[in-house]
Amino acid sequence: MQETLGLRERKKRETRRALRTIATRMFAERGFDAVTVAEIAAAAKVSTKTVFNYYATKEDLVLSGRDELDPALAATLRAKEPGEPLLVAMQRHAHAVARRLFELPAEQRDALRQVVGSAPSVRARWRENRCEQEAELAAALIEAGLADGRDDADRAVVAAFKARLVASAVDLAYFDVTCWPKEEERTLDETLAAVDEAFAMLGRGLAG
């Protein structure tokens, strides 16, 4: 029974990934607005209903891959070792995101860059998702006692501020691949160095 469930989950994961890959390629070739979900379903040889079973919106066909590439920041905070500084855990998270992105085939990274750069609705959906992640991280910071303040209102402000700064530093890893001009594309080492510099600046700012 356990093996059957494992095979089923693996099949779902493969279908989800195939839909995302096909959709991103079609969006890059023809433009996000020019491609319908029905056309994506036909190319993947599934029904339109199946596509929406895996992805709530058309934009999520592009962005949901971040769930695998960039897990929730709050989850990283809760999983960190006792006593490990917040910024150390988040810097490690950003490094992992960068490495996963650079493991994608070059053509897939190029397609992702093109779609994110040319589709306003995709960028709007991304901002919505990131705001949700920041709110979750802020709540986790308060829960972990990492947001000082005289009262709950103060702590909420401090937590939201910290969450925004940390998320912005982590986003460097993602933006380097999805938003950096192709002709100025950086290497993994250059991206990691930029992330390290951002966290060093953040550490100095929070310490001051």
Amino acid 38: pLDDT: 97
Q: Which residues contact 182 (CB under 8 A, 6 or more apart)?
A: 110, 113
Cα–Cα dist 115/117, whole Å: 5
Rounded to whole angstroms, how far apart are CA atoms 65 and 100? 11
CB 198 within 8 A of CB 172: yes
Average pLDDT over residues 160-184: 85
As a whole number of Å, the CA-based R_g of the chain is 19
| Closest listed residue to residue 76, CA positions, set 131, 133, 148, 158 | 133
Q: How much is the pLDDT for 69? A: 54
pLDDT at residue 180 is higher than 80: no
Residue 119 in tokens: 């589709």
**Does position 21 have pLDDT exceeding 80, yes or no?**
yes
197 vs 66, more confident? 197
112, 177 contact by CB (below 8 A): yes
Residue-wise pLDDT tens digits, 88-131: 999 999 999 899 888 888 888 888 888 888 899 998 988 888 89
Contact 41, 47 (CB under 8 A): yes
Q: Class of the 1-57 domain?
A: mainly alpha
For the cut 80, the answer to whether the pLDDT of residue 207 exceeds it is: no
In single-letter form, the type of residue at position 93 comes to: H
Average pLDDT of every residue of the chain: 88
CATH-assigned architecture of domain 65-207? Orthogonal Bundle (1.10)
CA gap 158, 76 in Å, rounded: 19
Q: State pTM to two decimals.
A: 0.80
Q: Contact at 8 Å (CB) between 77 and 141?
A: yes
The pLDDT assigned to 177 comes to: 78
Spans of all domains in the chain? 1-57, 65-207
Write the DSSP symbol of residue 33.
G
31 contacts 116 by C-beta, under 8 angstroms: no
> What pLDDT digit, counting tens, does each position of 130-159 carry?
898 899 999 999 999 998 889 999 999 999
